[in-house]
Amino acid sequence: MAALPPYTSTLERVWHYTYLAICGLIFLFLIGPILVIIPLSFNAEPYFTFTHAMLTFDPAGYSLRWYHNILSHPAWIQSIKNSFIIGPAATVLATVLGTLAALGLSRPQMPFRGVIMSILISPMIVPLIISAAGMFFFYSSVDLTQTYMGVILAHTALGIPFVVITVTATLSGFDHSLTRASASLGASPSHTFFKVILPLVTPGVISGALFAFITSFDEVVVVIFLSGVKQRTLPLEMWAGIREQISPTILAVATILVAMSVLLLTVLELLRRRNERLRGIRA
């Protein structure tokens, strides 16, 4: 596709460039909206569009006032703290439980594999509003609503499918003769796990954990139903902000979140390369 062969007809040439232009527009559709809010979050005026001063690159058109706004509102600070309490806690729980289960699921002797797998993935499929409403009724009957514990457990359940999927995918290329080799060389099962299995599945575990983290960090429906005043998370604060009166502070928060997803994506990309390299050595 990179270079057109010399025998290409004019019509094909025209079509080729039209096609590339169409793809360019689709990429613009994908990425443009996310990039647009970044400069807008530095707007000096409380508008959601580019002012004349911004377009002429006048420094007076730009400011950090919306970022100051985040720092000067205790509600935003508290919600950021909450997100960083709930997210990691749910991630650790989901990753540990999910990795263990994936190890079991990828064993050839696992009974009822299909049924169990579809139960474990279901939190990703069931509409969030049903999950949230169900959790609200059930968790309030055991006094878990308006507690950190309740939100953490709920987010763990929502993050688990991602861990199970990524770790089983990593394990699908796993060579089981390695564990047998390790055992025949005299390693105990736990030694085999930490020295042979874990290093090979670590990239999958980490990317599963990142998925679980972003799921919790981004989740708002369950938080609407389960959280009290004390457990308000960043997405909930944003949701409330957008519904009441959308202010450019939201754009500043959104920019910070975009920066975070860029960071996570970079980590994931590095992991993928490492994984490919490792597999390349083995092959």
Partner 1 sequence: MTTADGKPLKVSLRRALRRQRIWAFLLVAPLLLFILVTFIVPVFNMALRGIENPQVHDIMPQTTSALKAWDGEGLPAEPVYAALVADLQAGYKSKEIGKVATRLNYEKVGMRSVIMSSARHAKRMKDGPYKEAMIHVNRAWGDPATWRLIKRESAPYTFSYLLAALDAHYDDNGDIAMLPQDRRIYVPLFIRTLLMSATVTLFCILLGYPVAYLLANLPLKISNLLMIMVLLPFWTSLLVRTTTWIVLLQSQGVLNDLMVWLHVIDDQGRIQMIFNKTGTLVAMTHILLPFMILPLYSVMKTVPPSYLRAARSLGANPLVAFWRVYVPQTVSGIGAGSLLVFILSIGYYITPALVGGQSGQMISNMIAYHMQESLNWGLAGALGLLLLVIVLVLYSVYNKFIGIDKIKMG
Q: Terminal CA-to-CA distance of the chain, rounded, Å?
A: 28
CB of 281 to partner 1, least distance (A): 18
Binding mask 214-253 for partner 1 (x = CB under 8 A): x--xx-xx---x---------x--xx--xx--x---xx--
Q: Could you say whether residue 167 binds partner 1 (CB under 8 A)?
A: no
Q: Among 64, 75, 126, 198, which residue sits at the site for partner 1 (rule: CB under 8 A)?
A: 126
Q: Among 27, 75, 81, 198, which residue sits at the site for partner 1 (rule: CB under 8 A)?
A: 27
Q: Which positions ≥6 away from 86 have C-beta within 8 Å?
A: 148, 151, 152, 155, 216, 231, 233
CB of 189 to partner 1, least distance (A): 9
Q: How many residues bind partner 1 (CB under 8 A)?
A: 95
Q: Which of residues 189-208 bind partner 1 (CB under 8 A)?
A: 207
Would you report the helix, strand and coil content of the chain in percent, each value rounded to 5? 80, 0, 20
Q: Could you say whether residue 177 binds partner 1 (CB under 8 A)?
A: no
CB of 195 to partner 1, least distance (A): 18
Residue with Cβ nearer partner 1 (23 or 181):
23
Instruction: Name the residue among 116, 112, 104, 156 with its Cα closest to residue 135.
Output: 156
Eight-state DSSP code of residue 73: -
- Residue 71 CB coordination number (10 Å): 12
Cβ atoms of 84 and 231 within 8 Å: the answer is no
Amino acid at 103: L
Q: Which of residues 45-64 bind partner 1 (CB under 8 A)?
A: 47-50
Q: Could you say whether residue 74 binds partner 1 (CB under 8 A)?
A: no
Residue with Cβ nearer partner 1 (68 or 107):
107
Q: Could you say whether residue 66 binds partner 1 (CB under 8 A)?
A: no
Taken in order 221, 150, 258, 271, the sign of the CA dihedral is: negative
Token readout for 227 is: 């959280």
Residue with Cβ nearer partner 1 (65 or 113):
113
